[in-house]
Amino acid sequence: MAEVFELAISVKPEDIDELGHVNNVSYVRWVQDVAVAHWRSAAPAEDQARLLWVVVRHEIDYKQAAFLGDEILARTWVGGATRITFERHTELVRSSDRSLLAKARTLWCPIDARSGKPTAVSQEVRARFSVPSEA
């Protein structure tokens, strides 16, 4: 398995919906937040300046509710890649009891910051942000 990157998240009042628990939109935002934090912590500055990333697919399984005051641990790691899609896995876990709240599989596409079009990435980015396929 690829190296896991972690980000601590506190549930805030704006994350809570009319049912009294975290709204699904907050989970999606956290999936994006941990991916962006991982990119910024691990990618060389020149690649960060040259590349932007857009989500082309989210798959999320919601397992348990989170509530105001919960501390969440967002865990993410990279998966396989094609020419212009990069897979990322994320788990959102309640810190107090380690309960899995949600898990996601997201496909990201690298975009050239100047042209706004999908682009190939350097070998360094490919090596750092994907794992070899098992084919």
User: What is the value of pTM for the model shown?
Assistant: 0.92
**Choices 3.40.50.300, 3.40.109.10, 3.40.30.10, 3.10.129.10: CATH for 5-128:** 3.10.129.10
d(CA 86, CA 131): 9
Q: Mind listing the pLDDT tens digit for each residue in 102-125? A: 999 999 999 999 999 999 998 888
d(CA 6, CA 92): 10
DSSP state, residue 15: G
Give the pLDDT of residue 21.
97
Q: What percent of the chain has pLDDT over 90?
A: 85
DSSP character string of 19-56: TSSB-HHHHHHHHHHHHHHHHHHHS-HHHHHHEEEEEE
DSSP state, residue 68: T
Q: Mind listing the pLDDT tens digit for each residue in 35-92? A: 999 999 999 999 999 999 999 999 999 999 999 999 999 999 999 999 899 999 999 9
pLDDT band for 1, please (50, 70, 90 cuts).
Answer: low
Q: Where are the domains of the chain?
A: 5-128
Give the pLDDT of residue 135.
45
- Answer yes or no: are the C-beta atoms of 131 and 79 closer than 8 Å: yes
